[in-house]
Chains A and B, each alone.
Chain A
Amino acid sequence: MSAKTLYDKLWDSHVVRQDADGTALIYIDRQLVHEVTSPQAFEGLKLAQRKPWRTASMLAVPDHNVPTTNRAAGIADPISRLQVETLDANCAEYGVVEFKMNDIRQGIVHVIGPEQGATLPGMTVVCGDSHTSTHGAFAALAHGIGTSEVEHVMATQCLVAKKSKAMLVKVDGALGKGVTAKDIALAVIGKIGTAGGTGYAIEFAGSAIRGLSMEGRMTLCNMAIEAGARAGMVACDDTTIEYVKGRPFAPQGENWDKAVAYWKTLHSDAGAKFDATVELAAAQIKPQVTWGTSPEMVTDIDGCVPDPASAPDAVKRGDWERALAYMGLKANTPITEITIDKVFIGSCTNGRIEDMRAAAAVAKGKKVAANVKLAMVVPGSGLVKAQAEQEGLDKILVAAGFEWRDPGCSMCLAMNDDRLEPGERCAATSNRNFEGRQGQGGRTHLVSPAMAAAAAIAGHFVDVSKE
C-alpha cells in the first residue's frame, strides 16, 4: 500500500460513495451547531418534514449573540434574543444536546467541542462556521460549511464533497521568546496569502508544531481558513491523547484503549506525497502584527507599515492604499509607534486557558495605559473562565485594569454589544481584521494574547520578545 497523508487517511475512512468525477458522500461524525447559521437549516428540515439522521452526533451552543456582562438579565437586543431562543426551541424539539447560555459549559463552539471531548481524533467534524478548521488540531477532518450543508448533514449525516489537494506546512526548530502559535499562523498567512491555501487541506507539521500544546495547535488550525484552506490539521501524538483523556464525551474503558490504538495511526506516513509544501524556520518567526484589512497584511513587530508604492502589482497597490486609508495609517510608520484605543483578548483563536495565562503573565503588577479606553478579556467558555479564576488570573487582570467578561464570541465579530466605534483602533487576539469586523469603521490589528496584553500596558504595540 502506498504511503498516505493524514488527510488521505481521514478522507478514505469516511467515504460512503464516490462518483467517477470525484464527487463523494462523506460521512460526518460530529456536527456542532450555533444560533447564527442553524435556524434556516432547522426550518428547511421542518418544511421538508425530515428528521435529523442522528441527533447524538450533534452538540449545540449559543455563542455569537450572547452578552458578556450581566447575563442574568438576559439578552437585551430582541433580534439577538430571538435567534438564541430559536436555537433553544429547535434543540428541544429535536432532542439535540445544547449547553444553554447560563450553563457553565457554554462557550464558543470551537472551544467547547474539544473541551468536552466532543471533538476526537479521526473524526469528521462540521459546523456552520468557517473556523471549524480549529478541530483539525486533533487529527480530525474538520471544516466549515454553509447553512444548506448544515441542513444536508442534519438530514443525511453526509456531506457532498470533493477531495481537496494536500499542503504540508512544515515549521521546524525552536520558537523564540514571546513567539506563539498565533505568530506562526500569521507568519504562514503572510507568506502564502489569504488565498494561498484555497483548494487545499493543510497539515501543519515539524518539530515546532509537535512542541505546541493542544491550545497552540488549535490556534494554528483555527487560522487555516484565513490562509484560504477549509481544513487544517495536526497529526495525533501523546499531547493529543493526553488532552482528550477523561473528558466528558471521550471514550472510556475498553473503548478508550481501542481508540488510542487507532488514533496512533493518524499521521502522514513517511514518504507520503503532498501537492504543495511550505517551510518556515521557527527561529526566524517574530511576534506578528497585522497593519491592514486582511490577515495577509501582516508584518514583524519590528517592521513598518508598508508603502503601497512598493506593492507587487496594481491590484495590490489599490488594496494597500484602501487598507491604509481605512486603518488611518501612513506608509513607513514603525509598528511600535501605533497607539491603540481598545484591546480584545478572546475568541475561538485565543480564548483558551493558555491564552488567559499568557495575558495575565504580561499584565501582572502593571496597569493598562491611560490612552486605552477599554481592555477586555473574554474567556472562550464558562469552564475556561472557572479555571482561570481558580488560578487567580482574573484578579491579576482586573488589578491591571482589564475587564473580565463572560464567555462568547464578543468583540471578535461584534454581534452583541461589544464593539469598536468608528475610527477606534484595537489590538485583538481574534482572527479577522476585515473592514467593519469589530464594528463599523473599527480598526483591528491581529496579535497574540501576550502582544495584546503588552500593547494594553504600553498603549501602543511593543515587542514582547524584548520585554
Chain B
Amino acid sequence: MRKFSLLDGLVVPLDRANVDTDAIIPKQFLKSIKRSGFGPNAFDEWRYLDHGEPGMDNSKRIPNQGFVLNQPRYQGAQILLARENFGCGSSREHAPWALEDYGFRVIIAPSYADIFFNNCFKNGLLPIKLDADKVDALFKAVAAKDGYKLKVDLEQQTITAPDGTVYQFEVDAFRKHCLLNGLDDIGLTLQHVDEIKAFEVKHKAAQPWLFA
C-alpha cells in the first residue's frame, strides 16, 4: 500500500450530502477485473454529459462544465471536501480505487459510511472526520479563494488552513500506523498465525458443525 504522511494539496468542494458509491463509480465500471484505471470514470455520471462505458476514450467525451470537478480552478485537486454520510451504499472498493486513481489522497467530511471509510485506509486514502460546522467553514473558505490549499499532517493529526487555523482530527491508532508505514494488513495478521490456529481448534470443538 502507498504510504501517507504529509500533504499540501488543492481542495475541491463537493457540496452534497449522502454521496453514494454508485455516484463515485457507476456499476458498468465494476466489470473490470483490475484494481487500477478507474480515475477517469470517478463521478462519471456527474462529470460527463454522455453515457460512459468501460473502454471508451474519455478524452473524446462531453464534460459537464457545471460539475465542480471540471472547473479549471480545481484541476489537480488532491483533497476532496464533502458533506455528511459520504460513500454510502455498496461495499465496492472500486470507489476508493477511483478516488485514489483520480489523484485524491485525503477526504474531509463530517461523516462517512462505515464500509467505505474502512476501504479508504486499505488504499492509501485518508478519510478525515471533522465537525459539520468546521466543514461548513471550509466550504466557505474554499469558495472564497482560488487555489485554496490545506496542509494535512497525519503524524500530528492536523489540518492547517492558509490563514493559520489548525484543525485537529482523530484517527484510529492502528490505521494511522498502517498508513504511515504503507503496511499490508494481511502480513500483519499472519504474525498471529498461532493464535488463529489455536482459536480454530477451540471453535471447532465447540461448534463442530461449522467445520463439517
The residues of A with any CB-CB pair to B shorter than 8 Å are: 13-14, 16-17, 19, 21, 23, 25, 27, 29, 36-37, 39-40, 43, 48, 50, 53, 56, 64-65, 77, 79-80, 82-83, 86, 120, 122-123, 128-130, 132, 143-149, 151-152, 155-158, 160, 162, 164, 194-195, 198-199, 228, 230, 251, 255-256, 258-259, 262, 294, 315-316, 318-319, 322, 413-415, 432, 434-437, 440
Q: Which residue of B lies closest to A23 (CB)?
A: B174
B33: interface (CB < 8 Å): yes
Chain A residues with CB under 8 A of B91: 37, 128-130, 132, 144-146
Contact A436 B31 (CB under 8 A): no
Within 8 A of A (CB), among B70-104: 83-85, 88-93, 96
A16 vs B201: C-alpha distance in the bound complex, in angstroms? 11
Least CB distance, B109 to chain A, in whole angstroms: 11
Contact code string B133-144 (vs A, CB < 8 Å = 1, else 0)? 000000000000
A27 vs B193: C-alpha distance in the bound complex, in angstroms? 12
Q: Given A37-B93, A148-B123, A258-B209: A230 and B88 within 8 A (CB)?
A: no
Chain A residues with CB under 8 A of B123: 148
The residues of B with any CB-CB pair to A shorter than 8 Å are: 15-18, 20, 22-23, 26-28, 30-35, 45, 51, 54-55, 83-85, 88-93, 96, 111-115, 118-119, 122-123, 172-174, 185-186, 189-190, 192, 195-196, 199-200, 203, 206-212
Contact A21 B172 (CB under 8 A): yes
Chain A residues with CB under 8 A of B33: 39-40, 43, 82-83, 86
Least CB distance, A139 to chain B, in whole angstroms: 13
Contact A436 B17 (CB under 8 A): no
Least CB distance, B187 to chain A, in whole angstroms: 8
A155 vs B23: C-alpha distance in the bound complex, in angstroms? 31
Chain B residues with CB under 8 A of A21: 172-174
Contact B22 A436 (CB under 8 A): yes
Q: Which residue of B lies closest to A26 (CB)?
A: B199
Contact A415 B30 (CB under 8 A): yes
Contact B195 A16 (CB under 8 A): yes
**13 residue pairs bridging A and B, Cβ less than 8 Å apart:** A13-B203, A13-B206, A27-B200, A40-B34, A120-B210, A144-B115, A156-B189, A162-B172, A198-B112, A315-B84, A318-B15, A319-B17, A434-B89
Contact B31 A79 (CB under 8 A): yes
Contact A16 B185 (CB under 8 A): no
Contact A434 B23 (CB under 8 A): yes
Please give me the 6 A-B residue pairs with the lowest Cβ-Cβ distance, nearest first.
A251-B209, A148-B122, A146-B119, A39-B33, A146-B93, A144-B91
> 17 additional contacts, CB 8 Å, given A128-B91, A129-B91, A145-B118?
A16-B196, A25-B192, A39-B33, A79-B31, A79-B54, A83-B33, A144-B115, A148-B123, A149-B118, A157-B200, A162-B172, A164-B114, A228-B113, A230-B115, A251-B209, A262-B207, A316-B17
Contact A158 B30 (CB under 8 A): no
Contact B111 A195 (CB under 8 A): yes
Considering residues B23, B189, B196, which has the most beta carbons from chain A within 10 angstroms of its beta carbon?
Answer: B189
Q: Given A39-B33, A79-B32, A120-B210: A146 and B22 within 8 A (CB)?
A: no
B186 partner, pick from A82, A128, A152, A230, beta carbons under 8 A: A152
Contact B208 A315 (CB under 8 A): no
A414 partner, pick from B16, B27, B84, beta carbons under 8 A: B27
A164 vs B207: C-alpha distance in the bound complex, in angstroms? 24
Q: Which residue of A lies closest to B203 (CB)?
A: A27
Contact A152 B114 (CB under 8 A): no
A432 vs B203: C-alpha distance in the bound complex, in angstroms? 37
Chain B residues with CB under 8 A of A64: 30
Contact B172 A17 (CB under 8 A): no
Contact A198 B85 (CB under 8 A): yes
A151 vs B174: C-alpha distance in the bound complex, in angstroms? 19
Contact B20 A318 (CB under 8 A): no
Contact B31 A130 (CB under 8 A): no
A143 vs B115: C-alpha distance in the bound complex, in angstroms? 9
Least CB distance, B82 to chain A, in whole angstroms: 11
Least CB distance, B159 to chain A, in whole angstroms: 21
Chain B residues with CB under 8 A of A149: 118-119, 122
A128 vs B30: C-alpha distance in the bound complex, in angstroms? 13
Least CB distance, A119 to chain B, in whole angstroms: 12
Contact A315 B88 (CB under 8 A): no
Chain B residues with CB under 8 A of A158: 189, 196
A40 partner, pick from B35, B96, B115, B209, beta carbons under 8 A: B35
A194 partner, pick from B22, B85, B118, beta carbons under 8 A: B85
Contact A123 B210 (CB under 8 A): yes
Q: Which residue of A lies closest to B33 (CB)?
A: A39
Least CB distance, B47 to chain A, in whole angstroms: 12
B114 partner, pick from A48, A82, A198, A432, beta carbons under 8 A: A198
Q: Given A156-B186, A316-B17: A148 and B93 within 8 A (CB)?
A: yes
Least CB distance, B72 to chain A, in whole angstroms: 24
A120 vs B210: C-alpha distance in the bound complex, in angstroms? 9
Contact A146 B118 (CB under 8 A): yes
A123 vs B212: C-alpha distance in the bound complex, in angstroms? 14
Contact A129 B32 (CB under 8 A): no
Contact B84 A25 (CB under 8 A): no
Q: Given A128-B91, A146-B118, A255-B208: A48 and B192 within 8 A (CB)?
A: no
